[in-house]
Structure 1
Amino acid sequence: MTPLIASTIEQCDAAVDAARSGAASWATLPLGERIDLLEQLLPRIMAEAEEMVAHTQRCKGIERGGAWGSEDWLSGPWAFMQGVAGLLTTLRRVHKGAPPLSPSKATQNSSGRTVVEVFPATRMDSLLLNGYRAEVVMSPGISAADALGSAAAVYRGRGFAKPGVELVLGAGNVGAIAVLDILYSLYAKGSVVVVKMSPVNDYLSAYLERIFGEFITRGWLRFVHGGADIGQYLAHHPDIDSVHITGSSLTFDSIVWGSGPDAAERKKSHTPLLTKPITSELGGISPIIVAPGEWDDADLQFQAEQIVTSKLNNAGHNCIATQLVILPESWAQADALLDRIRAVVESLPARPSYYHGSQDRMSAAVAGHSAVEPLGAKALCSLVTDVDPHGAQSLITAEVFAGVLGVVRLPGATTAEFLANAVAFANDVLPGTLGATIFVDPATATRERAAIEKAVADLRYGSVGVNVWSALSFLLAYTPWGAFPGNSAGDIGSGIGFVHNAFLLEGIEKSVVTMPFRPMHRAAFRGHLHLSPKSPFFVTNKTGEITARRLTAYLASGKISALVGIFASALRG
């Protein structure tokens, strides 16, 4: 992964100047032309998709068509297209004079909070991801009318608050992160963009420059290259109006507060070096909480596969990768679930940890533990089963961002008591508020409905998954993506602000995404009807890459005939 030659200071200045020159024309561009530009992106993404994915797989050291094959389709071209499609859904409705969301989509939950159903957003969503649901929980005091009124308000008469030139500092781990951030800066904030790709995946720049060709030609987007020094220079450039970063809290702090001995004093005295607006997504420790219930062997296998997927997708180099599984001390099936996790990891092929610093972080994560099990080919993942919830081990204090999975067992005489303890541990002990997941079988969900609803409501995370890895919020486009509100520059946690958010809602607290506990063929026998087989994002899906490629092609073409191929491969997964 040799990075491109770093941009010079003169080239950086020229990029900012070009974007500044184009800012006024972008801010005033009619909605119809904005829609046209989005529509033109879809075939351009598809034209580059095959080689873009192949290049990514080569650089990550994984084989095409294997267990890891679907991840770079789903988190690359498919996620990019889904982001475009989500914005198109919203803007086309506005352009026709219709509201982005019907009044029936905003309701109150059992806690009296306004929630907005954002997925499925179209009839095709209901078919392709049948049984999947997503809602946005609004901040306290936001009424249904407020929430609906905020949707795409910038395109319904209010206009953009402070359009200008935004610097996007792209992440190196997932291809779609930078492009979805670019889209949000352009379409939600009305700002033109200078983007610095991470040196880790800067090889994507050539593809993206072709895809975004018209935006570049018309002065609305510029790419620059280089390391932290270039990012620092641009963040403090006088003609950059705002900054968005996806990365680590250390990078955020170095930009905002500086480095060296004076940085701590600046933070203490609230005198940052960077005073312009900055939003951020910075990761954290993400848990899966397993509610006790009576699971059959297939349930144990299916959820073990999902847990392993949530850990080893992208070799664990995800800000939302599961780091801890939280189990009830008294649950009779806890050990059986762990045995299934072990077996799933052992069944997978080796893959390298390609992100810098991985080995050091993995060594730190397992230090001080005696129950460490290296699993899989070439120690693909280490399972640590003796994590003390009251200790100060690295596994519960620092994000690993690599292949280590810890297990915490917590007490609780009842399901409600366990969930309360698990939520308190996640909220008050674990750093970060990006995403958390709860697994609960349908019988338990029905019997313990109040306890489950309270747990989901009480989790202070920007995305909560129910029976689905909370990373789904990143992919759906309609769901806002970011940390739970309340962080500040002085205590940044998982970051500030939301992106994606295709309906452009305001006053967001978090997203809640839900997937059926069982795939369709087993759910039907239990009286829970839906049409979703095993998701193609599972690392155990035998046809995951084929299905992901076909889903991507469908987003580009919209041809109904493509559905036959999608379902044919999906049902074989």
Structure 2
Amino acid sequence: MTAALPSTAQRWQIDQAVDDLVRGEAAWAACDLAQRRELLLRMSAATAEAAEAWVRAAVAYKRLPSGSPLVGEEWITGPYPVLTSLGALAGSITALAESRSPVDGFSFGRAPGGRVAVRVLPHSIWDRLLLNGFDAEVWMQPGITEEQVRRTAGLALLRPADTRGVGVVLGAGNITSIPILDVLYELYAHNRVVALKLNPVTDGLLAVFERVLAPLIDLGAVRLLTGDADVGTCLVHHPKIRHVHMTGSAATHDAIVYGPGAEGAGRKKAGTPLLDKPVTSELGGVSPTIVLPGGWSEADLRYQAEHIATQKLHNNGYNCVASQVVVVSSDWAQKDRFLAHLRAALADAPARPAYYPGSDDRTARALDTYGDTAERIGAGRVLITALDPADPGPALTTEHFAPVLAVLELPGDARQFLAEAVRTANEEFAGTLGVNLIAHPGTMALLGPALDEAIAELRYGTIALNAWTGVGYLTATASWGAFPGHTLDDVQSGTGVVHNALLLDGPERTVVRGPFRPAPRALLHGKTTLSPKPPWFVTNRTAATTGRLLADFAAAPRWSALPRIFASALRG
């Protein structure tokens, strides 16, 4: 099987774009730190101006009702993380220009195994107010010292004139900030100028992306291309391209690296890649949510069911880190009550179209595979119960990328169950991008240090305790990517990291923690957490308004904007 060839006009456009970038590399190399920071500030202004058009374009291709609270997802995962990343990168450059480390002012700690941990959230007063109750650490790989972290933070910006050629970014089609954030990381972390090939699903965002990236396009450091897989194939094999970064599935990765079909499978088996240049990637996988047994109130059961419904149904399940399997204890006295709440949360979440290509087919396959244990819930959603732990089928090994959720029961009390859940997640689930844990404060106290040890034992790039791993995606200073160590022939959730606005050298994982209960209910249990139901919850009634206000605030942080944000968030 051979991929179709692009047209003559498309090949000319590819050659022209790459030649422009070869020349643009010299212009990028000539930009000192001050100029690179100024480019970020100009991009921030352009993003703020284009934000409304950005969200409109995303809503159009995802076919969301214009007045739906779900529009908030497009604000929070589109302009918002780009604006926060631009600001955080600008802060790192300011530190480097002043002969400081980007991590100066960030607190350091220790994680299990002697790891160095950098606390990246909260950092500013704005973090403490807007994300009260949430925190995040980047755990460095074992053996890296605090002194090394301080000395090496900055990556390629430590030598800005030492550029590394032309790279390709194959853009994602699901979360609209991904292509822009990947371009920024290639330029600022790796010192590569970039040809960005859009996923055809997002072609409607071309004009918006051109506005946002205009400062870099004008410099000659970025070029945008559209087209089908044939254009992408031609581009990544171009002799002047030095590196490829992609977001997608492991199957797409293998088709790019080894070629499609039986011939590609043969090359993979023989260890002879068709693509003769380095590749980094973020590829998703099967993300579990591990629910530890404990004594929960009815309100706790209902809230955490909504939490898991969000982990599954945010963006209709078309997230690389969407939860796919809920792991619960078969010995938990409240298991059946919790699952009843989970069914209700899945059924009551707002309906939305299955916009991503192949979604209906993947959902139908899940229904056919699991038969009577798979039930239709609400509009196009599937819940698979009673997975056989000895033979769970494809639920643990095949990413559905659709609104399909499964439940896996494992035996034991909190301690026994946690040990078995960690083993299962590490050894039986495909991918290592993200894992969620949910635990009652009483259970956390009972487990003590064993919980931190379990987090350290999990081999995932982002681990969230009483939060969704998506919070790690939205934290500009956190690293995002698979657990280190994958190879081209066993790529799992990919290689390398992105985001990482502190430009840390050698992050192993991001660990996010959140409140078990939202405000004001948390106050009734003696917690000072101020965060209400998060705006990314699919059940948040004011998500669209809050998302818009957060993006506006990210563009220009100021005290005067806070009252409206708080008022909208509390009504959610």
Matched, 1:133 2:135: yes
- Map Cα deviations across residues 446-472 of structure 1 (whole Å, 9 max, x no partner): 221222112211111111011111121
Distance in 1 of aligned mates of 2:393 and 2:362: 12
Q: Which moved more, 1:384-393 or 1:212-221?
A: 384-393
The one-letter amino acid paired with 1:463 is T
* Cα distance change, pair 160–144 in 1 and its aligned pair in 2 (3 A): farther
Q: Is the 8 A contact 1:27 1:191 kept in 2?
A: no
Q: Percent identity?
A: 43
Cα displacement string for residues 236-271 of structure 1 (whole angstroms, at most 9, x for unaligned residues): 101111000001112211121112433233223322
Q: Distance in 2 between matches of 1:484 and 1:32?
A: 33
Instruction: Report if aligned partners of 2:25, 2:163 keep a CA contact under 8 Å in 1.
Output: no
Q: 1:80 aligns with which of 72, 79, 82?
A: 82
Matched residue, 1:320: 321
Indicate the SS of the match to 2:246: strand
- The one-letter amino acid paired with 1:177 is I
SS in 2 for 1:241: strand
Alignment of 1:505-516 (within 5 A): 505-516=504-515
Write out the 4+ residue segments of structure 1 that deviate beyond 6 Å after TM superposition: none
| 1:410 aligned onto 2:393 | no
Matched, 1:219 2:238: no
Q: CA deviation at 1:227?
A: 1.0
Within the alignment, does 1:442 sit opposite 2:448 as a pair?
no
Once the 2 structures are TM-superposed, how far is the Cα of residue 442 of structure 1 from its aligned partner? 1.3
Question: Which deviations, in whole Å up to 9, do the C-alpha atoms of 1:109-152 show, x marking residues without a partner?
Answer: 24322211111232211221112111111112111222222211
Maintained 8 Å contact 1:153/1:159: no
What is the TM-score when the length of structure 1 is the normalising length?
Answer: 0.95
Count of residue correspondences: 565
Q: Secondary structure at the match of 1:370?
A: helix
User: Could you say what secondary structure the match of 2:190 adopts?
Assistant: coil
* Equivalent AA in structure 1 for residue 391 of structure 2: G
In structure 1, what is the Cα distance between the partners aligned to 2:205 and 2:530?
35
| CA contact 2:166–2:240 (8 Å) conserved in 1 | yes
Q: Secondary structure at the match of 1:135?
A: strand
Spell out, residue by residue over 1:486-543, the C-alpha distance to the aligned partner (whole angstroms, 9 max, x if none).
1101111111000000101111111101111111211122222122111100111111
In structure 2, the partner of 1:504 is: 503
| Contact 1:169–1:198 (Cα < 8 Å) also in 2 | yes
**How do 1:369-408 residues align onto structure 2 when only pairs under 5 Å count?**
369-376=371-378, 378-379=379-380, 381-408=381-408
Code of the aligned partner of 1:569: S
Q: Which runs of 5+ in 2 are unaligned?
A: 1-6
**Gap change, CA 1:515 and 1:246, over 3 Å in 2:** same
Structure-to-structure mapping, 1:457-472, within 5 angstroms: 457-472=456-471
Residue 25 of structure 2 is aligned to residue 23 of structure 1:
yes
User: Cα distance, 1:388 vs. partner?
Assistant: 1.6
> Could you tell me which amino acid in structure 2 is paired with residue 228 of structure 1?
A
Corresponding letter in the other structure for 1:396: L
Does residue 32 (structure 1) correspond to residue 34 (structure 2)? The answer is: yes
Counterpart Cα distance in 2 of 1:340 and 1:450: 30
| Mean CA deviation greater in 258-267 or 451-460 | 258-267
SS in 2 for 1:465: strand
Q: Which moved more, 1:165-174 or 1:294-303?
A: 294-303
Q: Confirm or deny: 8 A CA contact 2:28 2:193 kept in the other structure.
A: yes
- Cα 1:28–1:389 shift into 2, 3 Å: farther
Mapped pair 1:431 → 2:430: yes
Once the 2 structures are TM-superposed, how far is the Cα of residue 37 of structure 1 from its aligned partner?
Answer: 1.0
Structure 1 residue 23: Cα displacement? 0.5
Q: Give the counterpart letter for 1:407 in structure 2.
A: V
Moved more, 122-131 or 282-291: 122-131
Conserved in 1, the CA contact under 8 Å of 2:61 and 2:201?
no
Distance in 2 of aligned mates of 1:153 and 1:52: 31
Amino acid at match of 1:295: W
Deviation at 1:441, TM superposition (A): 1.4
Question: Which range moves more in the overlay, 276-285 or 514-523?
Answer: 514-523
Matches of 2:269 and 2:62, distance apart in 1: 40
Can you give the 5+ residue segments of structure 1 that lack an aligned partner in the other structure? none
Asked if the contact 1:15–1:222 (Cα under 8 Å) also holds between the matched residues in 2, the reply is yes
AA at the equivalent of 2:151: G
Task: For residue 159 of structure 1, report the CA deviation from its aligned partner.
Answer: 4.8
Trace 1:508-527 onto structure 2 (pairs within 5 A): 508-527=507-526
Tell me, in whole angstroms, the C-alpha distance in 1 between the residues paired with 2:452 and 2:417.
14
Indicate if the aligned counterparts of 2:157 and 2:188 stay in contact, CA closer than 8 A: no
CA distance in 1, matches of 2:555, 2:515: 27
Q: Distance in 1 between matches of 2:272 and 2:281?
A: 19
Counterpart residue identity of residue 29, structure 1: C
Tell me if structure 2 keeps the 8 A contact 1:419–1:451.
no
CA distance in 1, matches of 2:282, 2:569: 32
SS in 1 for 2:263: helix
Q: 2:203 and 2:30 mapped to 1: Cα distance?
A: 31
The one-letter code sitting in structure 2 at the alignment partner of 1:515 is G
CA shift at 1:167, angstroms? 0.3
Distance 2:113 2:212 in 1: 45
1:523–1:530 contact (8 Å) kept in structure 2: yes
Q: Secondary structure at the match of 2:444?
A: helix
The reply to whether residue 69 of structure 1 matches residue 71 of structure 2 is: yes
Q: Determine the C-alpha separation between the residues in 2 that align with 1:31 and 1:560.
A: 29
> Separation in 2 of the partners of 1:351 and 1:94?
45
Q: Matches of 2:249 and 2:387 in 1, distance apart?
A: 24
**Kept in 1: contact 2:246–2:280 (CA 8 A):** yes
User: What TM-score results when the alignment is normalised by the length of structure 2?
Assistant: 0.96
Q: How far is 1:76 from its partner? A: 0.5
Equivalent position of 1:354 in the other structure: 355
For 2:329 and 2:349, the matched residues in 1 are separated by: 27
Structural RMSD (CA) = 1.7
- 2:51 aligned residue (29, 49, 52): 49
Quote the residue 1:152 is aligned against: 154
